[in-house]
Chain A
């Protein structure tokens, strides 16, 4: 369902993504992990057609990302890094706008909108303009937009960050259900405890290069230990001035 070969992206002299190859089967949940600035969001942007790759090719949901952009847009749902919301629309209006654009009837759009608003705990703030919402509400709105048209492939850039634990669990259960129904999911996250319970495939990226690819159950140790070993060990901080007044 997601297949990319030798994908690279360069910004001036900086190689943000360096020759990566990723394969995700239909119904798989691929967690794409790495530290800030490793190239996760750039990869998501290239796979969703938001950014042209410098080299390489990607096929998503059977469509060539570079050559069939319109077909690709209809087939995928995306929670982008910047959420892709309009300041002049309310939470509910974002969904009501999105449905007809993806070919849903008015009745379908209204029914799915109310279900998603309820499932994601957005009912109380549905008439709030996006620029007046909390970050969590904005993220949930963008997630609802990604789900509304029942996409074949979902790309979620940090879906659990800034979300309360109950909604995070709801989202996790929802994603598991979607995957069991054949939807392919590609997500990035820093919350390893959620990822460990959810993902069927783990890919790790560091400084633009893939450093680990395997099925989730083939990890040699816990995800957190493996992450710290392969991607980034936590630094030892020596900030002597912190708390020094109290000693």
Chain B
């Protein structure tokens, strides 16, 4: 029984650490914009709902999955103890706490139950996907992402996979899909609305531009140090991947303004990406360097996007020039760090 208590204590520490990793959301540009929009709650509701739905994936994970299967089967636990562990670990899930809070605190049992069912459906979906990938690794769509046909093509391909390993990309995708559906179903809609959705799409992906090396790990960074590549090429390969993910998202909306905004986000984000590298866990929202960088990034990307959209398309070259200058400067900084 004492052993079981220790396992549960370790499990709750692991769950707590995972919950703390969700803190990164507070320095996420999209979250900051949502908080700002809370001044007018109706306009923020949909965006917060999107964030919440995507957050259900990490929140609904089974606490027992944190124990490696081989370790669990090696521990001298009886069948009864394993059942007890399974029951007790259920109560460590954040989803259960939230559902319980809705039931007890808000006194809305039906809503709490519905929330729990939705979370359980997300959990079943994640298990189904990971089981499928374990049995048929070729089903992993990221494996089939084609390399870009240049000599840095594989590097760009790797970088694109990294962008697609963060929830930010999926939030941006949901925004873009909603915008596209709106465009198709409302042909006479105000064109400015598409600019707004484009900007929100870029904001959703912009925090990642502050953490371009976040998923490379120490081992990956060793490889960068060994490669006979100038720093600017390494930074450019990161940017190319980011823009290649962004382009199809903004294409049906306001593509030129979207790319101008994306390039501005990258130009500002290089400082934090190169000089303050911070690892990020996969399948989470990216946490930015700090709120000041986030505010500056959002200001620059909104300015670039709006100016390009409202004034003239060739203002996109201003963003491109800023990006080129930033790549050159932070490439040199990266070289010095290598």
Q: A69-B338, A93-B154 are in contact. Are A87 and B220 (CB under 8 A)?
A: yes
The 8 Å CB contact of B227, one of A48, A101, A132, is A101
What are 30 inter-chain pairs, A to B, with CB distance below 8 A?
Answer: A49-B225, A50-B225, A70-B228, A70-B230, A73-B227, A78-B226, A80-B226, A83-B219, A84-B219, A84-B222, A84-B223, A84-B226, A85-B220, A86-B217, A86-B220, A86-B223, A87-B217, A87-B220, A88-B142, A88-B158, A88-B162, A90-B143, A96-B147, A97-B158, A100-B153, A100-B154, A101-B227, A101-B229, A127-B137, A129-B143
B300 within 8 A of A: no
Cross-chain contact of B219 among A48, A49, A70, A85 (Cβ < 8 A): A85
When distances are taken between beta carbons in the complex, the residues of chain B under 8 Å from A89 are 154, 157-158, 161
Binding site for B on A (CB under 8 A): 48-50, 69-70, 73-74, 78, 80, 82-90, 93, 96-97, 100-102, 127-129, 132
- Max chain A Cβ within 10 angstroms of own Cβ: one of B155, B215, B219, B338: B219
The answer, yes or no, to whether B3 is at the interface (CB within 8 Å) is no
Which chain A residues border B151 with CB–CB below 8 Å?
A: 100-101
| Inter-chain contact B226/A93, CB cutoff 8 Å | no
**A-side contacts of B138, CB under 8 Å:** 127
Q: How far is the CA of A73 from the CA of B229 in the complex (A)?
A: 9
Scan residues 210-225 of chain B and give those whose CB is less than 8 A from a CB of chain A.
215-220, 222-223, 225
* 7 extra interface residue pairs, beta carbon distance < 8 Å, beyond A84-B226, A101-B227: A50-B222, A50-B226, A86-B219, A89-B161, A93-B154, A100-B151, A101-B152
Smallest CB–CB gap between A187 and chain B, Å?
16
CB distance from B36 to the nearest CB of A (A): 33
Which positions 136-164 of chain B face chain A at CB distance < 8 Å?
Answer: 137-138, 142-143, 147, 151-155, 157-158, 161-162
Q: Which residues in B have their C-beta under 8 angstroms from that of A86?
A: 158, 216-217, 219-220, 223
User: Complex Cα distance A48/B223, Å?
Assistant: 12
Chain B min CB distance to A161 (Å): 16
A82-B218, A84-B220, A127-B143 known; A96 and B154 CB under 8 Å?
yes
Q: Which residue of A lies closest to B225 (CB)?
A: A50
Q: CB within 8 Å of A: which residues of B?
A: 137-138, 142-143, 147, 151-155, 157-158, 161-162, 165, 215-220, 222-223, 225-230, 338
Asked whether, in the complex, the Cβ of A97 is within 8 Å of the Cβ of B154, the reply is yes
Q: How far is the CB of A103 from chain B (nearest CB, A)?
A: 8
**Which has the most chain B C-beta neighbours within 10 Å: A49, A82, A102?**
A82
Bound-state CA distance A96–B154 (Å) is 7
A88 to B223, CA, bound (A): 13
B158, A80: Cβ atoms under 8 Å? no
Minimum C-beta distance from A66 to chain B (A): 12
Find chain B residues with CB under 8 A from A128 CB.
137
**Residues of the B chain whose Cβ atoms lie less than 8 Å from the Cβ of A80:** 222, 226
- Cβ–Cβ < 8 Å partners of B137 in chain A: 127-128, 132
CB-CB < 8 A to B142: which residues of A? Answer: 88
B302: min CB distance to chain A, Å: 31
Knowing A88-B165, A97-B155, say if A73 contacts B223 (CB, 8 Å).
no
